[in-house]
Structure formats: C-alpha cells, structure tokens
Amino acid sequence: MQAMADSNAAVVELNVGGVFYTTAAKTLAKEPDSVLAGIVNDSSSWPKDSKGKYFIDRDGVLFRYVLDYLRNQALVLPESFRERERLRQEATYYNLPGMVDAVSAPNRQPGYITIGYRGSFAFGRDGLADVKFRKITRILVCGRVTLCRDVFGESLNESRDPDHGLTDRYTARFFLKHSSIEQAFDMLQEQGFHMAGSCGSGTAGGSQADLKPGVDSEESRWNHYNEFVFVRD
C-alpha cells in the first residue's frame, strides 16, 4: 500500500464502528505519529470488513470530529455539544495531542442567564401537614439562546419559543423539562456560572376575590414568584 502513501490523490474508505467514511490518504497522514497515519503507512496491519473497508473499532459518530480536525487543523463543535470527555478519549486513542488540548480547553461564552419559577407553599387543608410543602409549577429560562442550550442541553424545552433560523437571538420563553430548582442551579454551577442577584415577590399576596373556581384559598395565599440572575465571565 506504499502507493497510497505516496499519492495525495489516493482515496481511503473506512468503517469506524459501523459508520462509513471516505477521505483522502493525505488527510489521514496529516499527523505523522497518529494511529490514522498508520493506516496509510502500513495498511497491511489493519483489518478490513467484508466490503474491503479499513475497520476501526471506535465510536463511529464522534469520528466525524476527528476527521474534521485533521482536514482543517482546528476543532469546531456544534452548539450544546455535551460529549467532550468522550471526544477527548477518542483523540487520545488516535494519538492527536493537538486535538486533545483543543477538546480540553474551555470553550465557554460569557453572558447572563435568568432563572425564574412560580410556586406555592402548600400546607394542606384544616392545618394538616402536606408532603408537597414547596410546589414548583415551572422553571423559566431567559437569556441568549446559544448560551441556554449550552448549559441545559436536552433539559431545555423550547416549545413555547421555537427556533426560526435566527442566530444569536434572545428568549424569555424557554423552560425546563424538570421541576427541580436545585438541579438547574447545579447545571449552571457545573458550567462556570455564579449567582449575581435574585429577587422575589412576597407571599400572602392573594385575596379571596382573586381566586378562581376550584382553587384552594389557603394555598393561594402562599403563591410566589422568584428570579435568580447567573453570570459567567
């Protein structure tokens, strides 16, 4: 297979974990000490699948980023990419130290995210204790769309403000698929955010005249709304 190593025009077909790729031999050989360069330089040592493609027993989906890195000598990941650790492992396996450094480097946009939630303190009827002491109805997420996606990923519900193809837009209509405010705080902390301020409405703000039919009068007195502003420098 020395002819392939000597020809920039040679085409190599790969089967990476069941996903097929076609690329140029010169692309695989860009990092001379990498595992992939070994396919070009010593092809006889590599197994092939039933269709004659060189087989690599690694993550086939993540390999697209490995190949893009070799082609462009730069790492560009999509919004809200949440598999950095797995991709770092792939780059380590292929012996691509430059890619390992690029994956490990923090790629965090600065900005603000506001978390809001409406809830109530429910004490039960006739003064009896209620296990649902704090009831949160929905956790709202406000901020730059790309930033919100980066932090919350699949936990983010965008149904009230679907993407219309606009870039770098802001929203005040996203909400989370879960109702645990502590989980939201943990996700923000893990992404390098810290709280810059908070505010909230008081409880006991309702009156009997404001109640809707079927709404418990005691619980309604303890309705409240809170907002927390988080920042990442």
pLDDT tens for each residue of 95-127: 999 999 998 876 678 899 999 988 876 655 555
**Would you state the structure tokens that stand for residue 81, as one six-digit string?**
């990419």
CA distance 27 to 11: 10
pLDDT at 1: 44
Positions in the chain short of pLDDT 70? 1-9, 79-80, 106-107, 121-134, 164-167, 202-221
Domains in the chain with CATH codes: 2-104 (3.30.710.10), 111-232 (no CATH)
Comparing CA positions, the residue from 193, 223, 206 lying closest to residue 115 is 193
pLDDT tens for each residue of 210-226: 556 655 565 666 778 89
pLDDT at 163: 77
pLDDT at 123: 57
pTM for this prediction: 0.57
Q: Is 138 in contact with 115 (CB distance < 8 Å)?
A: no
pLDDT at 136: 78
pLDDT at 144: 92
DSSP secondary structure of the chain:
-HHHHH-TT-EEEEEETTEEEEEEHHHHTSSTTSHHHHHHH-GGGS-B-TTSPEEE-S-TTTHHHHHHHHHHSS----TT---HHHHHHHHHHTT-HHHHHHHHS-----EEEEEEEEEEE---GGG---S--EEEEEEEEEEEHHHHHHHHGGGEE-TTS---S-SS-EEEEEEESS--HHHHHHHHHHTT-EEEEEEE--SS---GGGPPTT--HHHHTTEEEEEEEEEE-
Burial, 184: exposed, middle or buried (Cβ in 10 Å; 0-12, 13-18, 19+)? Answer: buried
pLDDT at 79: 65
**Would you state the structure tokens that stand for residue 112, as one six-digit string?**
């603000």
